[in-house]
Structure 1
Amino acid sequence: MFKRIALFLATNLAVLILLGIVMSVLQNVFGIRLGNNGAILVMAAVFGFGGSLISLLSSKWIAKRTTGAYVITQPRNADEQWLLAAVRAQAQAAGIGMPEVAIYDAPEINAFATGANRNNSLVAVSTGLLRAMTRDEAEAVLAHEVSHVANGDMVTMALIQGVLNTFVLVAARVVGGWIDAMMSGGRESRGPGLFYFVTVFVLDIVFGLLASMIAMAFSRYREFRADAGGARLAGRPKMIAALKRLAQTYGESTLPKQVQAFGISGAVGHGLSRLMRSHPPLEERIAALQSAVDEPVRGSGRVVTR
């Protein structure tokens, strides 16, 4: 938790410095005043959405590089042949394009999905999952990941993060400008003073933590939704069995930070620490499935029953 907060503080300090440099250049070269809220909004949107969209567009490449995932093009054995067939059937049922299917070497039971859109995605499973899970359980995990793609979770997460980043940058600088003006007696002709930079730095941290809590709340919600989608595609008993298997063997995820939130199992917490975690507790996910109402699979008339 402390490492996560330290990383967040360092990132926001870097953003503050970079944004300050860019704002200064724009002010001096183009005559844009720092007090102009319109200019602040434009620059905040560039920084806020820019990083999120770049991360989204490069997510498949980053995931492959950071996990060392091997993309299956020609199946080398029965497991790989089964993986391709299972994902293909689920993608068709969910109404999305065929994802790339990959395997990465890790002892944990885990899988993830990522990609820029519903027809350009990647579904990857760990070698630990293939060793420890039955075919039915693995099928449910694949269905969970295909549901992430079908729900557009990667795009939605990027947009939410972009909006939150923009809000943080704008709100901190607008409030910082107000406080600086009050403390300096309405300074207008000169640039921002010390109170502005101190206030902006503090508010970047405070608003940023609040924004992270909102983003993680959505991340936890999409896990429940992907579980429900997995139950519709593979069958509720299989999805529940897969989550129970994860609960028996769960450990902290070793996935890289860039894709950790998209794994079927990830960081969970209780109490206040839960607010900064990407996944709800497995027991809550299992209980939600056990009490869910049956729904038809997307694009078909088939209803998954208890």
Structure 2
Amino acid sequence: MAVVGAILAGFYLVAVAAAMVAFGQGILPIAIVGSIVLVAAQYKIGKWAALRSVGAEDLPEDQYSEIHQFVERVCREKDLKKPSLKIASMGVPNAFAVGRRGNGTVVVSQELIQLLNRDELEGVIAHELAHIDNRDVITMQLGQGIASIVAIVAQYIVLFTGENDLADFFLAVVVGNIVQFIVMLFVLAVSRYREYVADADAKDVLGRGEPLARALEKIQQGNQQAQQTTQRAQRAQRGRGRAYENRRRNSNVDQQVSALCISSSDSGFLQQIVSTHPPMEKRIRRLRS
């Protein structure tokens, strides 16, 4: 984690230094202020978009009192301000956390609550609380912000050191995307590592890893069944216009917040390299070790 963090910081410093060489030292305060504004905007917009994309609503305390009581107990133990608890229909069993340590939000899907028993659900919620407690959302937003900043600097350097014609514009877009992709590989590595940490913290909260391991198994099975159902529905609905489009859009709700959710469907080697989550089998094995 320290090595990857140092590499990300190195990318940022190189980008700022390159901007100073290309545009002069007067660009330094603009670069610093711009970086802060960009990361803050990504954080605010990202949180709002994630909650809006799944239609998250407040989790009724009278109906789900056990969940609220469990969260309150964990927050007391961790000296953590209780996050907002919300529920959403995602089409798949899943959960995610957004926000910072003093102002976090945990979202669980209706499908998850229906699928898991009490200790399994508590394992998933403990995992999401660990993300808030460890400031993982802020860490990811910072990493994504660095990737964006490096890409923007690379694009402007290409534009202003060339002839600033149409060819330079397209070259700047290509260079920016390539540079951003390279930096994002390190950001995604951070994300995968933080999933292991959140699993370990949830295991400490529960005193054992078996409940969360069982929950991950059920979530994986639930996601696979949902994908199969969606594929069958798409084949049946293909060519039927709006009905098919609405079904397709609903099936992709979980993909819009996949970076935040507790599970990911990435399975191939290349998919794992660019995935926000480590393979489910490895997580389950670590929890049971």
TM (norm. structure 2) is 0.74
Alignment counterpart, residue 229 of structure 1, candidates 198, 201, 205: 201
Q: 1:220 maps to what in 2?
A: 192
Q: Once the two structures are superposed, what CA deviation does each residue of 1:68-126 show, in whole Å capped at 9, x if it has no partner?
A: 21213x5232xx111111111122222210011111123311011101x2011111111
Instruction: Spell out the pairing of 1:78-93 with structure 2 (5 A cutoff).
Output: 80-93=64-77
Rounded to whole Å, the distance in 1 between the matches of 2:28 and 2:147 is 13
Per-residue deviation, 1:198: 4.0
Please point out which of 167, 171, 175 is paired with 1:199.
171
Task: Give the Cα separation in 1 of the matches to 2:54 and 2:134.
Answer: 24
Q: Which has the higher Rg, Structure 1 or Structure 2?
A: 1
Deviations 1:214-238 (A, max 9, x none): 2222211111111111111123222
- Say if 2:42 is the partner of 1:55: yes
Counterpart residue number, 1:76: 62
Matched residue SS, 1:93: helix
Matched residues in 2 for 1:247 and 1:241: separation? 10
When normalised by structure 1's length, the TM-score is: 0.70
Whole-Å separation in 1 of the counterparts to 2:183 and 2:265: 18
Q: Deviations over 1:138-172 (max 9, x none)?
A: 00000000000011011111111112221222234
Match of 2:279 among 278, 281, 287: 281
Q: What secondary structure does 2:106 align onto?
A: strand
Structure 2 residue aligned with 1:162: 145
* Structure 1 pair 272–44 and aligned structure 2 pair: CA distance change class (3 A): farther
Cα RMSD (Å) of the superposition?
2.8
For 1:169 and 1:275, locate their aligned partners in 2 and report how far apart those are by CA, in whole Å. 24
Sequence identity, in percent? 30
Distance 1:41 1:167 in 2: 14
Q: Which amino acid aligns with 1:63?
A: A
Q: Which residue of 1 aligns with 2:89?
A: 105
Secondary structure, counterpart of 2:281 in structure 1: helix
Q: Which amino acid aligns with 2:214?
A: A
Match of 1:243 among 213, 216, 222: 216
Q: In the superposition, relative to structure 1, how do residues 275 and 46 fare at CA in structure 2: closer, same or farther (>3 Å)?
A: farther
- Provide closer, same or farther for how the CA distance between residues 71 and 231 of structure 1 changes in structure 2, counting only shifts above 3 A: same
- Structure 2 residue aligned with 1:66: 53
Which of 103, 106, 124 lines up with 1:141 in the alignment?
A: 124
User: Cα 1:45–1:200, aligned 2, differ >3 Å: closer, same or farther?
Assistant: farther
Q: Distance in 2 between matches of 1:258 and 1:247?
A: 18
Note if 1:153 corresponds to 2:136: yes
Matched with 1:296 is: none
Q: 8 Å contact 1:48–1:165 — kept in the other structure?
A: no
Query: Are residues 95 and 118 of structure 1, via their aligned partners in 2, closer, same or farther at CA, if it must alter by over 3 Å?
Result: same
Give the length in aligned residue pairs: 244
Q: Structure 2: give runs of 5+ residues left out of the alignment.
A: 1-19, 228-250
By how many angstroms is 1:272 displaced?
1.9
Where in structure 1 are there 5+ consecutive unaligned residues?
1-32, 181-190, 292-306
Distance 2:65 2:272 in 1: 39
Match of 2:106 among 123, 130, 138: 123
* Alpha-carbon contact 1:100-1:123 (below 8 Å) kept: yes
Contact 1:247 1:283 in 2 (8 A): no
1:268 to 2:241 alignment: no
Supply the distance in 1 between the matched residues of 2:260 and 2:149 (Cα, whole angstroms): 23
After TM superposition, give the deviation of residue 54 of structure 1 in Å.
1.6
